[in-house]
Amino acid sequence: MDKRTLLALVLSFIVIFGWTYIVVPIFTPEAPVVDNSSAAKIPAAPVNSASKADNNSTTTVNNVELQNNNVEVSAPATLTTEKSKLMEVTFNSQTGNIRSVSLLNWADTEGGRVTFNKNGNTDYASLLTPVANGYQKTVTQVDNGIIVSFTAEAGSLIVTKSYELSNTSYIINTSVSVTNTGNSSLNVPLNVKIGPKLGSGFEDSMYVFEGAVITNGGKTYRIKADDTDKETLDNAVWAGYTSKYFLFAAASNDLFKKAEISPENNLAVASISTDFIVNPSGRHDAKFSLYVGPKYYDELKSYGLSLQKSMDYGWFYFIAIPMLYILNFLYDIFHNYGIAIIFLTIIVKILTLPLTIKSMVSMKEMTKLQPKMMELREKYKNDPAKLNQVTMQLYKEHNVNPLSGCFPLLLQIPIFFALYKALLLSLELKGAPFFGWIVDLSAKDPYYITPILMGIAMFIQQKMTPSTADPVQQKIFLAMPVIFTFLFINFQSGLVLYWLTNNILSIIQQYIINKRKN
């Protein structure tokens, strides 16, 4: 990597991370604390009434209110567990809500299974209705799994919450059925709350968002778990909590009206809500999906619920996503993601080869002019305007454009960041070996061999690259390989492998150009 590329990437890092972690938090207004402590119980005779037109007649619709039933339950007898081949779900049998979900085929960082709300003492996914407690559980066997149902009654409402656990899908088909046994039509609210936090055992990453997410398929809002900001979206599609590699979300394309992220006990909670009218002696079924599983882009997109929005590929997503497809295509050929990364790097290098060669040749020509430029600087050191004039004349005489070396490199920066994001978010690399000591491309190199090799390759390339910098600037640039080595030393080995391969290819390119110009 030549010095201009290096400088451009460093400045880009500063701009992108500075904007994300400094500017945005400063100018994001602090949300007010929401008090959810009071919730009215369903009355024997509803207290709120509204008149709605129905077929040119006036029908009275009574509003009933939610109850917050997310209470701590310490007695083990109130918790019950059911499982499919993919997940183990712990329910709160008093509330009919989900306390925690373990993914049976995925290991966490603590030696157990990936579990949302591990050891949590409150419900993690709460289906809030006007009927809070007193649910009775039933389990029904179906062809591809089981249906777990909880039924309770309060006032004139009977509520049944049903969860279908599949043996072949991470989608939990969920429904809330409400029956009205009274004499008045009722407007019944439903609010699905998820969170707060993820629970222990998830992989931490300062470079990947983890927290509450809501989206309507167009706009997407993200708030970290320990932030107290608030966001609201109309016509919501899903709300949930995401980690680097896993997602817990409630989703539907046509059921929910609003989603929000709001603070609860100073922690972000994602919720999505709707309401519906249930006439006397009538029943309404509100059906939606709970997705609890890994974040594979293609799989999430296939559900048609915009769940792929949980994967934030940044500003250059339109480049990152095709690169992910190419990576998986290469894996299908070589059956090794390490080799796939190497060949993906070669492909990117070939595509950017014309730009790179143009930049390197320009740098070589600028180096030849360096002695004359030093003479001019000395001669006109007290006349900056004249120095600028004669310098531009020198460039014109030798047909050299000083910007021609920078512009091609700027065009490559989006490609670099897109590939960086594609590799960073790729669950495909989790547990994927390369060879020898690299047994997990999503984890750091345990012996730091590849980061050190990367630093050495950067140093060799810098020594080979022509430079127009003064001696002080050259010393600063020589420190860059050391800085990047320490920066990448804890990066996942798949990313380091990409950088190492890119540097080796750049050394080869520079060697060929130097030989040609000599």
Residue with tokens 């183990």: 88
Q: Tokens standing for 410?
A: 């700027």
Torsions phi, psi for 419 (to 5 deg):
-65, -40
C-beta of residue 124 within 8 angstroms of C-beta of residue 99: yes
pLDDT at 355: 75
C-beta of residue 266 within 8 angstroms of C-beta of residue 251: no
How far apart, in whole angstroms, are the C-alpha atoms of residue 457 and residue 441? 20
Residue with tokens 């167009």: 218
A 10 A CB-CB count for 463 gives 11
pLDDT at 204: 82
pLDDT at 43: 38
Among 499, 502, 492, 487, smallest CA distance to 441 is for 492
A 10 A CB-CB count for 332 gives 8
Is residue 234 classed exposed, middle or buried when 0-12, 13-18 and 19+ CB atoms within 10 A define those classes? exposed
How far apart, in whole angstroms, are the C-alpha atoms of residue 295 and residue 328? 15
> In 3-state terms, what secondary structure has residue 181?
coil
C-beta of residue 101 within 8 angstroms of C-beta of residue 88: yes
Among 172, 177, 174, smallest CA distance to 188 is for 177
Is residue 257 classed exposed, middle or buried when 0-12, 13-18 and 19+ CB atoms within 10 A define those classes? middle
Would the CA dihedral through 329, 332, 336, 339 be positive or negative? Answer: negative
pLDDT at 299: 95
Among 87, 45, 43, 85, smallest CA distance to 65 is for 43
Per-position pLDDT tens, the chain of length 518: 444 555 555 555 555 545 444 444 444 433 333 333 333 334 333 334 443 444 444 457 788 877 765 544 444 448 999 999 999 999 999 999 999 999 999 999 999 999 999 989 999 999 999 999 999 999 999 999 999 999 999 989 999 999 999 999 999 999 999 999 999 999 999 999 999 999 999 988 788 899 999 999 999 999 999 999 999 999 999 999 999 999 999 999 999 999 999 999 999 999 999 999 999 999 999 999 999 999 999 999 999 999 999 999 988 999 999 999 999 999 999 999 999 999 999 998 888 888 777 776 777 777 777 778 788 878 887 888 888 888 888 877 777 766 665 665 676 778 878 888 898 899 999 889 999 999 999 889 999 999 999 999 988 888 777 655 556 666 777 788 888 888 888 888 999 999 899 889 988 887 887 777 55
Q: Tokens standing for 158?
A: 């009977």
Among 106, 255, 267, 280, smallest CA distance to 189 is for 255
For the chain, the 3-state helix, strand and coil shares in percent, each to the nearest 5, are: 35, 30, 35
Q: Where in the chain is the domain with CATH 2.70.98.90?
A: 48-312
How far apart, in whole angstroms, are the C-alpha atoms of residue 192 and residue 116? 16
Q: Which residues does 47 contact at the CB level (< 8 Å), separation at least 6?
A: 62
Is the link from the previous residue into 196 a cis peptide, with omega within 30 of 0? Answer: yes
The residue type at 426: S
How far apart, in whole angstroms, are the C-alpha atoms of residue 272 and residue 57? 32
- Between the two ends of the chain, the Cα-to-Cα distance in Å is 20
Residue with tokens 């939606």: 288
The residue type at 504: I
How far apart, in whole angstroms, are the C-alpha atoms of residue 146 and residue 167? 9
CATH architecture under which domain 48-312 falls: Distorted Sandwich (2.70)
Q: Which stretches of 55-134 are assigned E, i.e. beta strand?
A: 57-63, 79-83, 87-92, 97-107, 113-116, 125-128
Q: Give 471's Cβ-side CA count (13 Å radius).
A: 1
Among 8, 1, 16, smallest CA distance to 499 is for 1
- Provide Rg for the chain, Cα atoms: 30
Q: Which residues does 305 contact at the CB level (< 8 Å), separation at least 6?
A: 237, 238, 251, 252, 253, 289, 291
How far apart, in whole angstroms, are the C-alpha atoms of residue 239 and residue 219? 12
Q: Tokens standing for 421?
A: 């994001």
Query: Where do the H-state alpha helices sit in 56-192?
Result: none
Q: Which helix (H) or strand (E) holds 270?
A: strand 267-278
The strand pair at 185-194 and 57-63 is best described as parallel
155-to-44, 45, 64, 66, 179 alpha-carbon distances in Å: 5, 8, 11, 13, 11
